[in-house]
Structure 1
Amino acid sequence: MEHLVITIGCEYGAKGNQIGKKVAQDLGIKFYDRETVDEIIKEVGIPKDIMEKVEEGVTIAGKGAEGDVRGSFSKYADLTERAIHVQKTIIRKLAARESCVIIGRSADYILKEQKPILRIFIYAPDEIRVKNVMESHNLSADDAKLLIVEKDKRYHKRHMALTGSNRGDRHNRDMLINSDLLGVDGTAQLIEEVAGKVFQE
């Protein structure tokens, strides 16, 4: 199979991370989740707290540390633009370097010019998301609902800060899948089957 890049965006509590990890394992390719990308961003000079503020739409003045991934950073006026530039550059480098599954981080939008690519969005009914979050975080139903609302708002702000577009725009995705329909294994298998058709051997 040729160079294979799959991006998976997901609603919080829809098990997108688990699905993406299984797809990567089954296909024998690299898996980059949000935490992994965050660590890479941190290693090249953008602290996590700065990145979080940027994703909330906060403009931060100042200069970041220099590094090879930011060769053209001098043209950016503030740390906000630099942080966004770094994240986009890292995601593009990961996708260009090797076959991989990338979870979140607006990779579907950032890599929209890459061909071929398979861009997936995983969602689930609200009651299923609540149930999943209750089980994974040992929370009451009310607390799970509050956490989902908080995460949804944060993810929307992050996507808007990085792309200037609405996170719900289906035009940046190739497939929208309800993970409750087939479960983790079944959804992963469906993605793998579609990937096999998109990325011909």
Structure 2
Amino acid sequence: MKQPIITISREFGSGGREIGKMIADHFSIPYYDNALITLAAKKSGFVEEMFEHTDQKPTGSLLFSLSMFGGMASFEMPLNDKVYLIQSDIIKEVASKGGCVIVGRCADYVLRDMPNVVNFYLHADLDTRTDFAIRMRDFPPEGAKEKVQKIDKRRASYYHYYTGKKWGDAKNYDLCIDTTKLGLEKTADLIIKYVDLRA
């Protein structure tokens, strides 16, 4: 395999960002997550804060499908759908340049027709993820568990809306890993070994 293109879908608090950075460092390839928002904002001319506000929030409308398949002009699309299309273009662009690690953004689906792509899904038990949210993301302890669940529900809805697939379904990924069992470093090691075996 040439330099790997690795996508990581993850439950909130399962360590996807940290693990993704370890993997990118190991292979000496670029890492992208929220940086895609910045790239997309610069390319489109939209204000970056607008991307952050709409990011990973599906519209729930039919206009995205109509615009994709009915020939509607792009300016008639809801902003959320424009953001998704621009980010998809950015994902394809960075992946076309060589190996990289991309966290979130439906990257596994966006790059489904590209060779050298390996897709992972990371999950962890709710208590572990809630503790992570409190310690590392400064969530107030009261209501933290509910907020973590709400974020995951939003991610699942976003993924289904733009892909038509179920977020977290093992059929959509090469490997699904419970980071509770291995921890972040060993999970990164496992992914690296898997990618090496695919070479």
**Do the two structures share a fold, i.e. TM-score over 0.5?**
yes
Is the partner of 1:119 in helix, strand or coil? strand
1:1-201 pair list within 5 angstroms: 2-33=2-33, 35-45=34-44, 46-47=46-47, 48-49=49-50, 52=54, 55-57=57-59, 75-76=73-74, 78-80=76-78, 81-198=81-198, 200=199
Is the partner of 2:143 in helix, strand or coil? helix
1:74 deviates by 8.3
1:140 deviates by 4.5
Distance 2:43 2:110 in 1: 19
Distance 1:53 1:116 in 2: 27
Is the partner of 1:2 in helix, strand or coil? coil
Distance 2:125 2:56 in 1: 30
1:52 deviates by 0.9
Is the partner of 2:176 in helix, strand or coil? strand
* Change beyond 3 A, Cα 1:53–1:104: closer
Deviates more, 1:87-96 or 1:139-148: 139-148
Is the partner of 1:131 in helix, strand or coil? helix
Contact preservation (8 Å) 1:5, 1:101: yes
Aligned residue in 1 for 2:68: none
Distance 2:169 2:113 in 1: 16
1:3 deviates by 2.8
1:79 deviates by 3.4
Contact preservation (8 Å) 1:54, 1:83: no
Structure 1's unaligned 5+ residue stretches are: 62-72
Give me the TM-score of the superposition, normalised by structure 2.
0.83
Is the partner of 1:44 in helix, strand or coil? helix
Structure 2's unaligned 5+ residue stretches are: 64-70
1:128-169: CA deviation from partner (whole Å, max 9, x where unpaired): 111111211344443321220221122123213322322233
| Structure 1 stretches of 4+ moved >4 Å | 58-61
Aligned residue in 2 for 1:69: none
* Change beyond 3 A, Cα 1:126–1:54: closer
Give the alignment's Cα RMSD to 1 decimal: 2.5
1:55 deviates by 2.6
Aligned residues: 187
Q: What is the identity percentage for the equivalent residue pairs of Structure 1 and Structure 2? A: 25
Contact preservation (8 Å) 1:76, 1:82: yes
Is the partner of 1:142 in helix, strand or coil? coil
